[in-house]
Amino acid sequence: MTIDVSPFRVREGHQVHLKRWPTKVRPFYKSKEHYQELLAEHVDKLKQQQNLLYADDRYALLMILQAMDAAGKDGVIKHVMSGVNPQGCQVFSFKHPSAEELDHDFMWRAVRALPERGRIGIFNRSYYEEVLIVRVHPELLRAERIPDRHSPQRDVWKQRYRSIVDFEHHLDRNGTRIVKIFLHVSKREQRQRFLARLDDPEKNWKFSAADLVERGYWRDYMKAYEKCLEETSTGRASWYVVPADDKRNARLIVSAILVELMRGLDLRYPVVDAAKQKELRAIRRRLLSE
């Protein structure tokens, strides 16, 4: 089954009103068994493409995951990347910046974690936190000690959007393909997931009182996400707003997005020239003669 992912893509230059973007759509699967079958199919395709990505050694793939708490980022990574060779995939989760990271520009810690050619990198949250949580909580910006001439009054957000777009264009020109996923969960569904964590002793560790505090800023976050998606979704590094109220459906959509992107890279195994083939035949004869 082929999933058309184009309805979830944010077109460059388009305004975004998240209330018009669904948090739930008609399932692409008919049952739990059908979902598992479709996901396995996508995972197998990703595995094949990853092998090609590594052998081709011209591109790297960076997937950025952003979402409100309990939207399912960890589940996407766990299930969608389940068949990918761990040696070819690296995951980084960005928490509150350390003292060392605060002494650098806001992109510094992300640059250090970029995937090399032939590999898939996954950012569980990312430098986009600098135009999301930092925008919602401006006191965090003050802690970064940016010189006065680059203060919020000088439209620091517009400057940061530009820095991000320029950075992503630079990566694209140098072979790193970027796909950005916003898992769009409803406030009502987040409430249900929070309650599930509280009611299940084995999931209590996932909940923090800070999660409830951030929930109180829901409208502010939605406004910050809308502006971020508008300003930073480009033709070469698009945002996808993935409905996340149905976790299974979200995983199928994300996996389809990745498969489509990797297939578009025209990956191929290196061609072995005549001299190399001759060398390999000689090696084979030597092994057979032992």
**285: in domain:** yes
Domain of residue 197, CATH code: 3.40.50.300
Taking CA atoms, 67 is separated from 32, 56, 102, 160, in Å, by 25, 32, 23, 19
**25: in domain:** yes
**90: in domain:** yes
Q: Indicate the number of domains in the chain.
A: 1
The model's pTM? 0.92
Q: Show the domain range for 248.
A: 6-289
**1: in domain:** no
**55: in domain:** yes
**106: in domain:** yes
How would you write the pLDDT of the chain (290 residues) with one tens digit per residue? 789 999 999 999 999 999 999 999 999 999 999 999 999 999 999 999 999 999 999 999 999 999 999 999 999 999 999 888 888 899 999 988 888 998 999 999 999 999 999 999 999 999 999 999 999 998 898 888 887 655 555 689 999 999 999 999 999 999 999 999 999 999 999 999 999 999 888 888 888 888 899 999 999 999 999 999 999 999 999 999 999 999 999 999 999 999 999 999 989 998 888 898 999 999 999 999 98
Q: CA 87 to CA 93: how far, in whole Å? A: 18
